[in-house]
Structure 1
Amino acid sequence: MSLSEITRLLARKWPLLVLVPLVLAASTYFFARHLPVVYSSDTTIYTGIASGYSLTGDAAADYNRTNNAFDNLTNLVTARSTKQEVIYRLLAEDLWQTRLHPEYLSLERYEDLREKLPPALRGQLTGASQEATLENVRRFADASGSNAIQKLLSSKNLTYSLRALNKLTATHLGASDLIKVEFDSYDPELCRRTLELVTEVFLGQSKSLRESQTASVIAYYEAELERAKVRLDKAEKDNLAFNRSNNIINYDAQSQNVATGKESLAGQLTETTQQYAGALAALKAVDRKLQGRQAALLSSQDVVEQRKRLSRLNAQLADQQLFGQQSPGGAAKARQLESEAAEVAAAIQSNVNSYYAQSVSTSGIPSKELLDEWVQNMVLVEANKAKLDVMNRRKKEFEREYERMAPLGATLKRIAREIDLAEKAYLTVLARLNESKASQQNTQLTANLKIVDPPNLPGQPKSNPQLILVILSALGGLVVVAGTVVGLGLLDNSLQNPANATRQTGLPVAGVLPDERAAAAPELQQRSLEQLLHYILLKSASATPAQPFAVGIGSVHAPDGKAALWQALVSHAQAKGIPLLALHPDASGTAAPSGAHARTYPAETAAVQGWSLEQLLGTAGAGPGAVGKAAAGTAPNARLLLLELPALRGEAAPPAGVLRQLDLVFLAVPASTTWRSSDRQAVELLRAATPAPVELVLGGVAPELAHDALS
């Protein structure tokens, strides 16, 4: 269906398109005349989420994170907890105000409060101050899930219910840092005050939520830092106790010193052993050379005592020289011991000289020289022997020190690893704690949202619900009616449209006749008949001149307008002065126009007998049984023959012999007809029975469609 067809279809139904919206609008106005008007207030809040400044500098431009933050804020505004807290505060404020000013109960808002809460409950909830009243309201509401306040929250109350705050909306203004909060209510003062309470509750909850995000993290890191500190302190105490118990100042330096001292001692021990062996061998050689009184001299008590003393002094001197140089006064003591040893050696030499009684030995060597050599070798032997004793003792000490310090290294490394791990854990937790505290400080700085535009007191209603509802009702009625009309038009399978008729029937449309009830029907009827007659005359131009152009006018069903079409064509052709002959069945009841050359014929007989057109013309005008006789009053030189045929699905069938001689067949079909398969079968039989073209003439067509078909 084209747009023009839809427009014409709606134009035909204009009374419905006007009356239904008017009735709906009037009904809506009647039922909605007492609805309250709506006032609106809004406030704008600056968040600083996208472009604000923080401790770390400008806020990072993270699109997803920014959108998430704005979504959190807008959802927090309309959260149930926010609405519930706002209602608690509003209820507490109104209870406190009515206690101070009882005359407020005459107003609509406070009258609603008195109706929903009985006096005893109002007295129970009202405290010594507005803050105490708020606490009483919260406590009473949380005490039970079905008390008066909870029922009030779940009701349809326009002031103290969650449903009343459904008009609360929060939107992010474009790509800015601003959030706009709006609220609609029936009372302008209530609208502004409710929005102020919403702003207070929202700002407090937003700050609390953002600060609590880091509070739990800081508490966790503080606990972890304490545990890490205890672990580090324990590891350091263990290290100190271990070093103290094992006399360790610097293990690496001490172990290095022990290794170095041992290596040095090994070299000195080798050298001293060689010197001792040489001196001892020389001393023994001298002893063998000395005999008799020289040997007794060397074995005297004084020499032995002095020799023992020299041995002790050499041992002390060796110990001091090897291991006592670093001690305070070590060098002076070593010099003192050297001096004493020299004195003892000199005393031995003096004793030897004083007891000397023999100047030459038996081998011819002077005894004086042997004795001096003996004294020198004896001093070397005693000195080296003392050194060897000290060195061997020190060697054993080094070995014991090695055995003691060897396992200490592994233990110290384990303690050092424990200290290192504990220190790293401590420093890591400390860094995380510092970051969390910085984040907390940053949150405290950025969580303070700023109100740019405070809630305003609306002076004029936002909208009149009556007018809106009336307009919506009228528009809804118009849309429903128009949609219904168009839908029915789309579902209409009738033959109103010539193109649709051709598509359904498979027959061309020769002409249309307008609906007689329309105002423009006579004029359109005249034009339609004019076109049909011209169409017939054009068809007859190719026919045999000696015979009239035979046009059969039939229909599928009996009352489908074929008689009216036959009468109209006969009248119009007669008015034009066209010579014609008109025939109609004798049982059709069709009245011929006055003055027309119209005759009747026995339709049933003609069908049964299979008459030809000549037989039909010969008996036209005679009664039954006048077969073969000439028809009286036949128009001489008739140009047209308009023959009304019985209905295809009527009581009498069309004469088959006549059908084979027709030049054109018109089927009169009402435009309101729904084409059925039985109709299609009847038409197929007709087309098979006649060589003449079969075409449709639609009757009762809407004037606008008829006008389009004729233009």
Structure 2
Amino acid sequence: MSLYEIFRLLKRKWVLLLLVPLVLSVSTYFFARQLPQTYSSDTTIYTGIASGYSLTGNAAADYNTTNNAFDNLINLITSRTTKEEVIYSLLAKHLWETSQQPSLLASPTYEGLRESLPARLRQQLTGPTQEATLEKVRAYAQTNNSNPVQRLLNSANPTYSLAALKDLSASRVGSSDLVRLYFDSHDPDLARTTLSLVTQVFLNQSRNLREGQTSSVIKYYEEELKRAKDRLDKAEAENLAFNRENNIINFESQSNNVAMQKESLAGQLTEMNQQYAGAQAALSAVNRKLGGRQASLMSSAQMIEQRRKLSRLSASIADQELFGQNDPNKTKQLKAEADQAAQAIQNNVDLLAVQSSSVEGIPNKDLLGEWVQNMVLVESNKAKLEVMNRRRQEFEREYQRMAPLGATLKRIGREIELAEKAYLSVLASLNASKATQQNTALTANLKIVDPPNLPSQPKSNKLMMMVLLSGLGGFVFVAGTIVGLGLLDKSLKNPSEAMRQIGLPVAGMTLDSHAPATKQLQAAQQRSLDQLVRHILLKANTSPVPPPFVVGIFSVQRQEGKTTLCQGLSQRCHEMGVQTLALYPDTDGANPGTDAPSLFYPSEAAAVQGWQLDQLIQHATPKRMSEISSPDVQVVLVEFPALREEALPVGLLRQLNLVFLTVPATRAWRHTDHQTVEQLRSATSAPVEVVLSGVSQHHGEEAMA
């Protein structure tokens, strides 16, 4: 649909386009003229979100974060929880004020309180202070969802309901740190009081919300810190108990010391073995020189006891000198006792000497002295070897004991290290969370820049704006409906649309016969018939076929205007002096209502017998004519039965010179209609043209303009 067609469509409905907006405007003025006046109060709050100061310096100017923070604040202001708390506070305030001054109940501000809550309930909800009254109101409202306070909260009360706070709004002032709150009410003092309570409740909720965001995090980190500390203490206690149980002061130093002592002992043991072997060799050599006489010396009880004493003393001296147990006084004493033992042995040898010389001629006293020295050296080295071997065994046992201690200490050390790292990590997170909490507490203190004001003048009720908007809305709605219905209308409407949808030339049209009969309509109908008659006469005069010129009038279905067309064409041709004969199928049985010659033919017999024109006329029944002379007839108009409902006289189809297909302008052209017309075109050689019937007057005027 083009813009011109839309304009013409709206022009035809100008009455509706004018009447509906006018009615809506008048109705809006009538019903809205008595609306109560409203008073608006506003307040401004400084947030410091975008450019405030925190513990870490100036706040970071992040666009998305800033917008998100402002959205959170605005949504918190207009949330249901905030509104409910404001209503509780307002109700508690009024209950407390009226309990102190009962005369206030007569004022319009407290009218809703007087009507909504009975006196007994008001007395029950009133406490000794306003804060106590608020607690009672809040507790009573939360008992169930059907108590009077809850019903009042969800009612349409203009003071104590959620609906009364629908005009509460908040917005950011430009790109600043300021948020402005607005509230409209029917009472100026109520507007200021309510907005003050909104500000107070909002500031408290914002502070609690922002400070409480990190409380759960801090609690979590405190519990984790306690667990990490317990784990660290457990690991350190295990390390302490292990060191105490195994006598470990410094494992690394102790293990190194044991290793060094063992290596030193191994060297000393090797050296001592060499000395012991040398002493034994020297003693054996002396024994050979003595020729076995030393055996008698060795077998004496006194000698055996002195050797044992010397051996014990030598072992004690070795312990003192070799293994760090050197007590100078004790060592000196032990050496003196050893010297005494050796001297006693020497004295005993001197007393027991019975010969003056050895077998080699060496004096016995000299050999026995040498034997005593070597025997003392052997006993001393032997004692030292026993001590050193015993010490070596102790080192072996110490090695076997300390070897697994190192692995255990490393495992305990790893446990302590991991526990310490976990403890320090949790401690750092806890400190960061506490810093964030402190920073939030610092920045959560919103400041009221402009307190709620008391409005002195009511707001404009915008009555004229409402009237204009209702009229404009009505116009847009009607225009949209008209255009929408026009776009959805798939009917043929006018000749140009019929030609586009059907695909056949349009010879003409007939106007809607059911429209009110006006002179303008009759003139337009006359012009459309004249146009069709001229079209037929032009075809008849230019046709090479001798008269009569046969025109077949068809329709796809019944009641589509073909009879009206045939009657109008025959009447108009008769008036113009054209010899015309109209043939109607007798199934209709209707009076043609014209002065032109008319015949009714049996359509079923014509279809069965395949009659041609002459046979059809012979078997037809004359109506309103005394005589028919075929040679004088110039135009024959033949109305055929509906294409889809009855059989057609095929013999007559071959004699047609022109086919008029009547199609109602009020219906859409379907695919089945197209198939039916194609069958008709294949059955006759005459050109098929469309006559659009029932065209509305405005479409007809457009087509003939």
TM-score in same-fold range (> 0.5): yes
What is the CA deviation profile of residues 631-689 of structure 1, one whole-angstrom value per residue up to 9, with x for unaligned ones?
9xxxxxxxxx9979687679xxxx999999998788999977999999x9999999989
What does residue range 441-452 of structure 1 map to in structure 2 within 5 Å? 441-450=438-447
Q: Secondary structure at the match of 1:560?
A: helix
Report sequence identity in percent: 57
**Partner residue in 2 for 1:10:** 10
After superposition, the CA RMSD in angstroms is 5.7
Contact 2:494 2:692 in 1 (8 A): no
Does the 8 Å contact 2:21/2:470 carry over to 1?
Answer: yes
Question: How far does residue 548 in structure 1 lie from its aligned partner after superposition?
Answer: 9.9
Query: 2: distance between equivalents of 1:700 and 1:201?
Result: 71
The equivalent residue for 2:239 is 239
- Provide the residue aligned with 2:506 in structure 1: 508
Whole-Å separation in 2 of the counterparts to 1:308 and 1:673: 146
Whether the 8 Å contact between 1:505 and 1:675 is mirrored in structure 2 is: no
Q: State the shift of 1:291 in Å.
A: 8.7
Where do residues 148-227 of structure 1 align in structure 2 (5 Å cutoff)? 148-169=148-169, 182-227=182-227
Give the Å deviation of 1:152.
0.7
Q: How does 1:109-508 map to 2 (within 5 A)?
A: 109-169=109-169, 182-283=182-283, 285-286=285-286, 289=289, 314-324=314-324, 330=327, 334=331, 361=358, 363-367=360-364, 369-399=366-396, 401-402=398-399, 405=402, 408-409=405-406, 412-413=409-410, 415-450=412-447, 455=452, 464=461, 466-467=463-464, 470-471=467-468, 473-482=470-479, 485-486=482-483, 497-502=494-499, 503=501, 508=506
Contact 1:557 1:647 (8 Å CA) reproduced: no
Deviation at 1:153, TM superposition (A): 0.9
> For residue 157 of structure 1, what is the amino acid of its counterpart?
N
Distance 1:582 1:295 in 2: 188
Q: Return the offset for 1:535.
A: 5.8
Query: Could you tell me how far apart the structure 1 residues matched to 2:36 and 2:114 are?
Result: 20
Matched, 1:709 2:699: no
Q: Distance in 1 between matches of 2:66 and 2:272?
A: 87
**Matched position secondary structure for 1:363:** coil
The answer to whether the 8 A contact 1:20-1:481 is kept is: yes
CA change 1:460–1:375 in 2 (3 A) is same
1:182-237 CA-to-partner distances (Å, cap 9, x unmatched) read 54444444344433333332332233233323222322332333343344334434
- Contact residue 303 and residue 345 of structure 2 kept, 8 A: yes
Contact 1:52-1:59 within 8 A present in 2 as well: yes
The answer to whether the 8 Å contact 1:49/1:177 transfers is yes
Aligned residue pairs total 674
Partner Cα separation in structure 2 for residue 320 and residue 606 of structure 1: 158
CA distance in 1, matches of 2:631, 2:409: 150
State the shift of 1:85 in Å: 0.8
In structure 2, the CA distance between the partners of 1:161 and 1:284, relative to structure 1 (3 Å rule), is same
Cα deviation for residue 151 of structure 1 reads 1.3
1:89: Cα distance to partner? 0.8
How far the C-alpha of 1:486 sits from its partner, in A, is 4.8
Shift of 1:469: 5.2
Cα distance change, pair 401–484 in 1 and its aligned pair in 2 (3 A)? closer
Shift in CA distance, 523/43, structure 1 to aligned 2, threshold 3 Å: farther
Secondary structure, aligned partner of 1:509: strand
Whether the 8 Å contact between 2:613 and 2:655 is mirrored in structure 1 is no
1:36 match: secondary structure: coil
Deviation at 1:115, TM superposition (A): 0.8
Task: For residue 320 of structure 1, report the CA deviation from its aligned partner.
Answer: 2.2
Q: Deviation per CA, 1:165-188, whole angstroms, max 9, x where unpaired? A: 344455678987766655444444
CA distance, structure 2, for counterparts of residue 362 and residue 695 of structure 1: 173
Of 560, 564, 571, the residue aligned with 1:560 is: 564
Please tell me the residue identity of whatever aligns with 1:251: F
Supply the distance in 2 between the matched residues of 1:538 and 1:628 (Cα, whole angstroms): 23
Moved more, 351-360 or 6-15: 351-360
Alpha carbons of structure 1 residues 629 and 157: separation in structure 2 relative to 1, 3 Å:
closer
2:645 corresponding residue in structure 1: none
- Name the counterpart of 2:586: none
User: Is this contact kept in 1: 2:561–2:664, CA < 8 A?
Assistant: no
Question: Given that residues 28 and 470 in structure 1 are in contact (C-alpha distance below 8 angstroms), is that contact kept between their aligned partners in structure 2?
Answer: yes
8 A Cα contact 1:45 1:451, kept in partner? yes
Q: Distance in 2 between matches of 1:257 and 1:8?
A: 116
Q: Distance in 1 between matches of 2:667 and 2:344?
A: 167
Contact 1:687 1:693 in 2 (8 A): no
Deviation at 1:109, TM superposition (A): 2.9
TM (norm. structure 1) is: 0.72
* Partners of 2:641 and 2:394 in 1: CA distance: 143
Cα distance in structure 1, aligned partners of 2:78 and 2:301: 119
1:282 CA drift (Å): 2.8
**Distance in 1 between the 2:692 and 2:407 partners?**
120
Change over 3 Å in CA distance of 1:476–1:369 after alignment to 2: same
Question: Aligned partners of 1:448 and 1:195: how far apart in 2?
Answer: 19
Shift of 1:377: 2.3
Distance change in 2, residues 1:332/1:520 (3 Å):
farther
Contact 1:557–1:648 under 8 Å retained in 2:
no
Q: CA deviation at 1:87?
A: 0.8
Is residue 29 of structure 2 the alignment partner of residue 29 of structure 1? yes
Q: CA deviation at 1:100?
A: 4.5
Listed as ranges, the matches of 1:557-636 within 5 Å are 560=564, 580-581=577-578, 601=597, 603=599, 624=626
> CA offset at residue 113 of structure 1?
1.3
- Identify if the C-alpha distance between structure 1 residues 186 and 509 changes in structure 2 by more than 3 Å, giving closer, same or farther: farther
Q: Does 1:76 align with 2:80?
A: no
The Cα of 1:149 is off from its aligned counterpart by 0.8
**Residue deviations 1:517-544, cap 9 Å, x none?**
6686698689768867876776577468
**SS at the partner of 2:124?**
helix
| Counterparts in 2 of 1:108 and 1:334: CA distance versus 1, 3 Å | same
Q: Please name the residue that 1:597 is paired with.
A: none
Aligned counterparts of 1:336 and 1:523: Cα–Cα separation in 2: 164
Letter in structure 2 aligned against 1:560: T
Native 8 Å contact 1:37 1:465 kept in 2: no
AA of the residue aligned to 1:130:
Q
Check conservation: 1:35, 1:466, Cα contact below 8 A. no
> Contact 2:492–2:498 at 8 Å: present in 1 too?
yes
Report which stretch shifted further, 247-256 or 63-72: 63-72
Q: Secondary structure at the match of 1:324?
A: coil
Tell which deviates more after alignment, 367-376 or 81-90.
367-376
- Partners of 1:501 and 1:509 within 8 A in 2: no
User: Are the counterparts in 2 of residues 560 and 669 from structure 1 also a CA contact under 8 Å?
Assistant: no
CA deviation map 1:3-33 (0-9, x unaligned): 4334333323322332233233333433344
Letter in 2 for 1:250: N
Give the AA of the match of 1:709.
A
Q: Aligned with 1:155: secondary structure?
A: coil
Q: Which of 263-272 and 67-76 deviates more?
A: 67-76
Where in structure 1 are there 5+ consecutive unaligned residues? 574-579, 592-599, 632-640
Cα distance in 2 for residues equivalent to 1:349 and 1:473? 146
